[in-house]
Structure 1
């Protein structure tokens, strides 16, 4: 997996905290939990090989790499449900859910 910028990790944590999730760092990833829902959050500065396991995953990346990451995930066709959050200077957008 590619190196993660600290600012992208902080953005991911901030987004999920603002959405009411309790966020727990797990190395380069984090776990976000709210009620029964547990989401593995993967900050990813550039498209890399996606994780092979999980149930619910959210990838947080820069807005300009969303399309490439989405293509990579579609080609990998993982068994888990996934979403991508594209981060920009003025906010973020959920690109797939």
Structure 2
């Protein structure tokens, strides 16, 4: 159980680098790029603030906070495609994906 309140920034960068992404940027938000894909990655804790814009977003948080963040994103239903990575104390992680979109093109 993570007792710290700082976002898992280093874990987030390591996870994406290990997956073969080029990671750039400092702070709690950075870019992860591989081939044609650019993912905006945000390391968060239990904050209520989630961005309103973007195409592909990934939130990296402590495992204890992942379920609440997933519920919040489902409630707010942002326009972007999202995923959440819940990091455990030992560095293992679990990925939670957004539910399939039911939006239709108008």
Give TM-score scaled by structure 2 length. 0.81
Structure 2: how far apart are the matches of 1:82 and 1:31? 14
12-21 vs 40-49, which deviates more? 40-49
Larger helix proportion, structure 1 or 2? 1
Shift of 1:50: 1.1
Task: Report the secondary structure of 2:25's partner residue.
Answer: strand
Shift of 1:5: 2.3
Gaps of 5+ in 1: none
* Moved segments of 4+, more than 2 Å: none
- The number of equivalent residue pairs is 93
Task: Report the secondary structure of 2:73's partner residue.
Answer: helix
Bigger-Rg structure (1/2): 2
Give TM-score scaled by structure 1 length. 0.88
Gaps of 5+ in 2: 99-106
